[in-house]
Amino acid sequence: MTILGISAFYHDSAAALIEDGRIVAAAQEERFTRKKHDSGFPANAVRFCLEYGGTTLNALDAIVFYDKPLLKFERLLETYYAFAPRGLRSFLTAMPVWLKDKLFLKRLLRNELKKLGYDARKPVKLLFPEHHLSHAASAFYPSAFEKAAILTIDGVGEWATASIGLGRGKDITVLKEQHFPHSLGLLYSAFTYFLGFRVNSGEYKLMGLAPYGDPCSPEVERYVELIKTSLVEMKDDGSIWLSQQYFDYATGLRMVHEKKWEALFGLSRRNPEDELNAEHGNLALAIQRVTEEVVLKMAREARRLTNTDNLVLAGGVALNCVANGKLQKAGIFENIFIQPAAGDAGGALGAALAAYHIYFGQKRVIDYQDDALHGSYLGPTFSDLEVELMAKKYKAVYVRYDDFGELCEETARLLASEHVVGWVQGRMEFGPRALGNRSILGDPRSADMQQKLNLKIKYRESFRPFAPSVLADDCADYFDYGGCSPYMLLVHPVRENRRKSLPADYSGLSLRDKLYYQRSDLPAVTHIDFSARLQTVHQTTNPRYWQLIDAFKKRTGCGVLVNTSFNVRGEPIINTPDDAYRCFMRTEMDYLIVGNYWFDKKQQPDWPEKEEWKNEFVLD
């Protein structure tokens, strides 16, 4: 039985293919169109999944869309009615789109599928599970748990903004839901907006900014108290109530009523690209603390309702790896699994799995140890011929290594000399994180590496941290964590013995001065609060990346590399060798390795427009 899952028309469109319950392929549309968070119909992702699975649209047993459009339309109408006469402008903006396309989604989907060869005379079953069921299925079914509590938290699906469920065998039971307009995800997005970042894109920046707040500052406590007393009321079970007088997302065209927020916090809304100061860091820390408190309350309620040792997480808020680390450390559950494509993209996979196990009633088989996602390496790969054709197209100069071990040793030497290396191998990652197949790598011991990567390679804000990739067996040598974190979704502290003492006047330093103070013997991956967003690298799921880090360890004694996604600011992560070479030449990256092919920047022909990307991509 072969099923195609699709998510589209909101943000992060994607497609996923499963065969007899096994995950065959999954990819986000943005990687093909080069439009970040592409919300259009994922034609390229669908085409890839079908080709990789060796099938056609009409040979499928079902095509599954990740939510129910009629329920979502019902929520919009009831919300506008409840808030009337507020929201008229938003209503007049939204309704034509719904009446033209989204309300008649079956017709829209079939029209798009016809362009890919679908024959409507031989119809395939078209299914629509609920949004949060798709999230729940995306996390539970690939996990290695026969029974688990399921916690999904995001902005909003149809009505639900969070849910607690129980997964057992092939069945999922929803036990409790939080409904719109009360949403932890939308609360966090409101602060993303107020602090000058892009909603549905910049939430991870807000999370990265939070540690720059002063944890001992009375201002942070004041902000937390203002949030709890004026914006959000939280219950012991993790449910929340948002005071809608401060928010505009339900019926307006913005997230918040700015003047009310400015009066409440005594702080003007930050404009994008404005300088960040201590107040911004303190407000970011305050909402991060509130978010963590709500997540922990929800998790305790999930434990109470399900009485199980296992938890799985999905939904956009599950990408908050700081909250995930706090949840894991709290010990509420013995085992936690987080879906690596936790946002809407992962809904495509969840929709397909939900159809297979729930609609078709197919048995669930757990014949794997960790999870069924194959390290999340589920996207397209490339051949040697594609690399050579790319090189011919750009007249690129390269060396091909027949011995991959020799290539790893040479790459390790370059990294140890503080060069920056683009590393492209095998199948592309599914989800927002580069996990060693579409990555830019550096030496974590270098005091200058974070600044170099941010300002000369990624061209992004200097405050943003970088993640360490560490050999799985060595994780506890560097960090206060000895478990698995293959998907870079957990934050844990750097070990005490690797930290450096802070100066007495540290709390009074500016944000910029704090940023470049060396805090450990791994300065490039140690965030300002001595934390790090970990990726444990396992030989079983990514033998090539593991071999490179092992070669670096043999040369330097350090089993860690800096790993950041292979893209510049505003660009989706690269997909093809062609994408990789263009990004390589537009930046100050030193070397590029694609498969077994090695490119030295100094040997390449001149690139005509190094700044071209700034016109091509919208800054996120």
Q: Regarding predicted confidence, which is higher, 102 or 151?
A: 151
pLDDT category, 101, cuts 50, 70, 90?
A: low
Percent of the chain with pLDDT over 70: 95
pLDDT grade for 504, boundaries at 50, 70 and 90: confident
Enter the tokens of residue 383: 């051949």
End-to-end CA distance of the chain: give it in Å, rounded: 40
Q: Is the pLDDT of residue 577 over 80?
A: yes
The tokens for 229 are 């007393």
Q: Is the pLDDT at 77 greater than 80, yes or no?
A: no
pLDDT confidence bin for 608, thresholds 50/70/90? confident
pLDDT at 502 over 90: no
Distance of alpha carbon 517 from the chain centroid: 28
Judged against a pLDDT cut of 80, whether residue 119 lies above it is answered with: yes
Q: Which residues pair with 323 in a beta bridge?
A: none
Six token digits for residue 8: 């589209």
Task: Please tell me the distance from the alpha carbon of residue 564 to that of residue 587, in angstroms, as a whole number.
Answer: 14
For residue 91, name the pLDDT band (cuts at 50, 70, 90).
Answer: low
Q: What pLDDT band is residue 318 in, cutting at 50, 70 and 90? A: very high
Token output for 408: 């790893």
Amino acid letter, 36: K
Residue pair 393/578 in contact by the 8 Å Cβ criterion = yes
Quick one: tokens of 152? 């999904």
Give the per-residue pLDDT at 514.
Answer: 75
| DSSP symbol at 102 | G
Q: 3-state class of 485 per DSSP?
A: coil
CA distance 227 to 431: 31
Please give the domain boundaries of the chain with CATH numbers for all domains. Answer: 2-142+342-372 (3.30.420.40), 143-338 (3.30.420.40), 384-616 (3.90.870.20)
Tokens of 363: 């048995």
Q: Distance between CA atoms of 214 and 320, rounded to whole angstroms?
A: 20
How many CB atoms within 10 Å of residue 410?
A: 16
Closest CA to 365 of 378, 356, 355: 356
What tokens were used for 328?
Answer: 């894991």
> Which residue is associated with the tokens 């011919």?
392
* pLDDT per position as a tens digit, 258-299: 999 999 999 999 998 888 999 999 999 999 999 999 999 999
> Which neighbouring-strand residues pair with 469?
535, 561
Average pLDDT over residues 156-168: 95
Neighbours of 140 (CB within 10 A): 31
Residue 220, pLDDT above cutoff 80: yes
DSSP state of 553: H
pLDDT averaged over every residue in the chain? 93
What mean pLDDT do residues 367-371 have? 93
Phi first, then psi: give them for residue 598, nearest 5 degrees. -120, 125
Residue ranges with strand state E in 401-485: 421-424, 438-442, 467-471
Residue 305: pLDDT band with limits 50, 70, 90: very high
Question: Which phi and psi (to 5°) does residue 516 adopt?
Answer: -100, 15
**For the CA atoms of 317, 318, 319, 324, what is the dihedral angle to 10 degrees?**
110
Which pLDDT value is given to residue 617?
76
Between CA 408 and CA 73 the distance in angstroms is: 53
Nearest CA-CA partner of 46 in 23, 67, 25, 15: 15
> What are the DSSP calls for 123-142, one per residue?
PPPEE---HHHHHHHHHHTT
Give, to the nearest 10 degrees, the angle between helix 278-306 and helix 321-330.
Answer: 50
Cβ atoms of 379 and 410 within 8 Å: the answer is: no
Query: How far is Cα 516 from Cα 397, in angstroms, rounded to an integer?
Result: 36
The secondary structure element, H or E, covering residue 337 is strand 335-338
What is the arithmetic mean of pLDDT over 34-40? 95
Say yes or no to pLDDT of 84 above 90: no
Per-residue pLDDT at 287: 98
pLDDT of 454: 84
Lowest mean pLDDT among 14-23, 76-85, 193-202: 76-85
Q: What tokens does 251 get?
A: 């019926």
Please, are residues 154 and 185 in contact by the beta-carbon 8 Å criterion? yes
Distance of CA 173 to the CA centre of its chain: 26
Cα distances (angstroms) measured from residue 137 to each of 65, 175, 426, 594: 13, 14, 27, 34
Amino acid found at 209: L
Mean pLDDT of 369-387: 97
Angstrom distance (rounded) from CA 404 to CA 399: 12
Distances (CA, A) of 203 to 154, 187, 196, 313, 317: 12, 11, 11, 18, 9
Residue 614's pLDDT is what?
65
Cβ atoms of residues 467 and 525 within 8 Å: yes
Which whole number is the average pLDDT over 355-362?
98
Q: How many CA atoms lie within 13 A of 422 on its CB side?
A: 32
Q: What angle do CA 481, 451, 609 make, to 5 degrees?
A: 125
Peptide bond just before 572 cis, omega within 30 deg: no
CB atoms closer than 10 angstroms to residue 216: 8
Q: What are phi and psi of 380, to 5 degrees?
A: -65, 155
**Average pLDDT for residues 362-368, to the nearest whole number?**
96
Would you say how long the chain is, in residues? 620
Is the model more confident about 383 or about 448?
A: 383
Looking at 203-274, which runs of residues are DSSP E strands? 232-234, 240-242
CA distance 209 to 164: 29
pLDDT of residue 234: 97
- Strand 126-127 and strand 62-65: the pairing is parallel
What's residue 99's pLDDT? 64
Q: pLDDT class for 251, splitting at 50, 70, 90? A: confident
Sign of CA dihedral 83, 85, 86, 90: positive
Q: Is the pLDDT of residue 546 over 70?
A: yes
Residues 6 or more apart whose CB falls under 8 angstroms from that of 186 comprise 155, 156, 161, 242, 247, 249, 255
Q: Per residue in 451-471, pLDDT tens? A: 888 888 888 777 788 999 999
32 versus 609: which is more confidently predicted? 32
DSSP label at residue 292: H
Q: Quick one: pLDDT at residue 92? A: 67
* Arithmetic mean of pLDDT, 231-259: 93
**According to the model, what pLDDT value does residue 103 have?**
65
